Amino acid sequence: MNALIADEAAAQAWLVETLGVDAAGMERLGRLVDMLREENERQNLVARASLDQVWQRHIVDSAQLLSVSRGTSAGEGLGSWLDLGTGAGFPGLVIAALQPERPVVLVDSRRLRTEWLARAASTLGLDRVEVVLSRVEDLPVGTHAVISARAFAPLERLLPLAARFSTPETLWLLPKGAKARHELEELSDAWRHVFHVEQSLTDPIAGVIVGHLLAAPAGTSERSRKTASASASKVSKRKSKSVRMSGRLQGE
Ligand SMILES: C[S@@+](CC[C@H](N)C(=O)[O-])C[C@H]1O[C@@H](n2cnc3c(N)ncnc32)[C@H](O)[C@@H]1O
């Protein structure tokens, strides 16, 4: 097992020495941390106390997904990465800062958060980032190489919501707290998958659910397709429900 990252210095050292982040990548992460601290004075993005350990609790906690996915084709490639319920930017914005060539889609239902995400991505020059203001339920279908979600929904609720963005090749990376193993054990057998739990590098009791969804329970994809196409037409009729932003905010 990898050693746990015990403090802020160890977190930054891990990024450089183990993950191999170069000077430009560290500079982007440093600017992201500064911007996050500033924005957190305006809106409640992350718990204030967590900023004392921002490199451990948020940056490395997100970046560890790249380490977990090493050696997999989805992890090694630069296929599209979908992050659901990105909130303050975790893990999706950190992934984009570390892999600026990869298309990364950040989805959140709260306008202020998506405005922050679009502003931060633009300031960092991350022009492959797309920020989508939408409920996940209302996102049109589209498949991705990687799907991540941190602190968004329990597995049993997340899978029906997000299965339509997945193929059997899609790599799912789900940082969970202490309930990772329990959530996986409790998942209905009707979901065919090859998920397992990796130990988190930042928290001794947390795990990351990693793997592939092979098949949804019978009837799920049809329901998802119907939901998605109904949602897509709802979005086109009421454009304000889903706003895509890339670098700068687009008008509704
Ligand atoms: C607990 S926060 C986690 C944020 C971030 N992933 C993190 O770990 O710091 C959950 C986020 O999901 C967003 N959210 C909740 N329900 C959603 C939905 N149905 N569709 C899209 N975003 C949603 C919330 O606005 C919030 O920003």
Closest residue to atom 7 of ligand 1, CA basis: 90
192 is in an annotated binding site: no
- Within-domain flag for 28: no
Span from the CA of 136 to the centroid of ligand 1 (angstroms): 10
Question: Does the structure's ipTM exceed the value 0.95?
Answer: yes
96 closest CA partner among 28, 20, 170: 28
- Within-domain flag for 39: no
- Within-domain flag for 21: no
CA distance linking residue 138 with residue 71, whole number of Å? 33
Phi, psi of 82 (to 5 degrees): -105, 125
User: Structural domain of residue 76, as residue ranges?
Assistant: 64-242
- Within-domain flag for 210: yes
Spell out the per-residue pLDDT of the chain, length 252, in tens.
Answer: 567 999 999 999 999 999 999 999 999 999 999 999 999 999 999 999 999 999 999 999 999 999 999 999 998 899 999 999 999 999 999 999 999 999 999 999 999 999 999 999 999 999 999 999 999 999 999 999 999 999 999 999 999 999 999 999 999 999 999 999 999 999 999 999 999 999 999 999 999 999 999 999 987 755 554 444 444 334 333 333 445 666 433 333
- Within-domain flag for 51: no
**Using a 6 Å cutoff on CB, does residue 113 contact ligand 1?**
yes
Q: Are 143 and 115 in contact (CB under 8 A)?
A: no
The DSSP code sequence of 187-210 is: S-TTSEEEEEEEEPSS-TT-EEEE
Span from the CA of 11 to the centroid of ligand 1 (angstroms): 25
pLDDT on residue 219: 77
Q: Into how many domains does the chain fold? A: 1
Helix (H) or strand (E) segment spanning residue 147: strand 146-148
- Within-domain flag for 101: yes
- Within-domain flag for 148: yes
Residues in the chain: 252
Which domain CATH number covers 137? 3.40.50.150
